[in-house]
Amino acid sequence: MKSTAKTPWIFSFLVSSAINSIQHMKAYFSCRKASLPILFALALVFGSCSKNVSMTRLVPAPVTVPAHVQRIVLVDRTKPQSEGLAVIGGIITGELPFEVRNAVQATLSSLQMTLNSSPRFQIVRSTERLPGGIFGQMFPNPMDWYTVEQLANRYQADAVLTLENFSSDFIITDQKRLIKKTITEGKNTRQIEVQGYYLEGLATVSAGFRLYDPKDRNIIDQQRFEKRNIWTAEAETKAQAMLLLIPKADAARAVGEMAGAGYATKIAPMYAEINRGFFPKSKTDPAVVTGARLAEVDQWEQAIATWQAALPGVDDKSGGMLAYNIAVGYEVLGSLDLAKEWAGRAYTEFGLNKGKNYVTTLNGLLQQQFLLEQQMQQNSEMK
């Protein structure tokens, strides 16, 4: 995806989700543990044929970090072993030392900010820059456990998360093509096509992360993240186009931020937005639209009661709509088990195929919820 933003793409999503969440409501998942917080932002999008509800839900991370890890210290371990090797590395990759250092700092800042957006961990940043990786494709030997324990004790942390290696590349390609140019003639403007240059700048960052657990003397996770992004520019001359293209150093910082944010989502539960559609009306049962109107103003309990009251004696088509809508309502309220029950009834009692598919979706969400409870268990106990 093309972008000219200099801040990580995930920040915009997280900030937007947080604002929407505050403006609407807070709910609690009651399927298994009522104490497990799940935040819902209810934003209804209306159309003539369908309605949708948007929910911002905390989802589990791909990696489950042990419950005793509550506070993590971030450490920069990309300092070259020697100045000579740093010069050689710069010659090979074409990177200037300050460019690498700035991109590394941007990567760590993005990692810290994204982890802080999750309720799972407390994050602190170390002041040390330790010797470690030089080239982005190679992990250095792990730190010795004495050093890991010293860092953890110094920052009162339960785990040490290091950026072990980092490298970036920026490749520019150009081609001649017709471009649009705006011509001003008095008060009038018009566009014409002229011969010009179109440039693409492809920035790639490779960043290696390790998460050390000093208590169990175990490396919880190790992964090299590679991220890339493309920027474009066009002008009548190649020199003009180069001036319009993002500078190499800025591109490295931006893609480094993407790598940091990306790794954060691997180890910490994050808020993600999902959309769920429901039926707004029925030709044979006015209760469908009555309940939908209640849902429009976030009165989901009343909407569910309206839909349930209309079920006796209803035809199969409207019955399927009502049962399906009830299922969506219970999901919005945080009751996945009840949502699954009513989605199943929409299929088994009224033959609505969407109900069967919804059950499959809800089964996946229930599995996610169980994993999330494990990942958030220590946080809940501390509260």
**Is 28 in the same domain as 168?**
no
Give the residues across from 169 on adjacent strands: 204
Instruction: Convert the pLDDT of each residue in 184-200 to its tens digit.
Output: 888 888 888 999 999 99
- Range of 154's domain? 71-174+201-268
> What whole-number percentage of the chain has pLDDT above 70?
80
Instruction: Convert the pLDDT of each residue in 203-241 to its tens digit.
Output: 999 999 999 999 999 999 999 989 999 999 999 999 999
**Is 264 in the same domain as 276?**
no
**Is 88 in the same domain as 53?**
no
- Mean pLDDT value across residues 258-286: 94
**Which amino acid is it at 294?**
L
For the record, the structure tokens of 332 come out as 């919005």
The answer, yes or no, to whether residue 183 has pLDDT greater than 90, is: no
Distances (CA, A) of 54 to 39, 109, 265, 275, 301: 11, 30, 21, 4, 17
Instruction: Let me know if residue 16 belongs to a domain.
Output: yes
How many whole angstroms separate alpha carbon 198 and alpha carbon 103? 26
Instruction: Let me know if residue 187 belongs to a domain.
Output: no
How many whole angstroms separate alpha carbon 96 and alpha carbon 104? 12
Report helix, strand or coil for 46. strand
pTM above 0.85? no
**Is 147 in the same domain as 218?**
yes
**Is 132 in the same domain as 34?**
no
Residue at which a domain ends, from 242, 268, 294: 268
Looking up residue 169, the CATH number of its domain turns out to be 3.30.160
Crossing angle (nearest 10°) for helices 83-93 and 97-116: 90
378 band by pLDDT with thresholds 50, 70 and 90? low
Q: According to the model, what pLDDT value does residue 377 have?
A: 82
120 band by pLDDT with thresholds 50, 70 and 90? very high
> What whole-number percentage of the chain has pLDDT above 90?
70
Instruction: Convert the pLDDT of each residue in 63-93 to its tens digit.
Output: 999 999 999 999 999 988 765 555 445 544 4
32 band by pLDDT with thresholds 50, 70 and 90? very low
Instruction: Let me know if residue 286 belongs to a domain.
Output: yes
Instruction: Let me know if residue 192 belongs to a domain.
Output: no
For the record, the structure tokens of 172 come out as 């520019």
Instruction: Convert the pLDDT of each residue in 307-325 to its tens digit.
Output: 999 999 899 999 999 999 9
For residues 42 and 24, the answer to whether their CB atoms sit within 8 Å is yes
Distances (CA, A) of 262 to 137, 149, 152: 18, 26, 24
How many whole angstroms separate alpha carbon 278 and alpha carbon 324? 7
**Is 128 in the same domain as 13?**
no
Q: According to the model, what pLDDT value does residue 186 have?
A: 83
Report helix, strand or coil for 81. coil
Extract the runs of DSSP E, i.e. beta strands, from the chain. Answer: 25-28, 37-40, 43-46, 51-59, 71-79, 122-131, 159-185, 188-213, 218-235, 270-278
For the record, the structure tokens of 192 come out as 């014409």
**Is 167 in the same domain as 77?**
yes
**Is 90 in the same domain as 169?**
yes
**Is 80 in the same domain as 229?**
yes
Query: What's the residue count for the chain?
Result: 383
Residue at which a domain ends, from 268, 298, 313: 268
**Is 84 in the same domain as 39?**
no
**Is 117 in the same domain as 264?**
yes
The answer, yes or no, to whether residue 174 has pLDDT greater than 70, is: yes
How many whole angstroms separate alpha carbon 366 and alpha carbon 378? 20
Looking up residue 368, the CATH number of its domain turns out to be 1.25.40.10
Residue at which a domain ends, from 211, 242, 268: 268
State the chain's mean pLDDT as an integer. Answer: 85
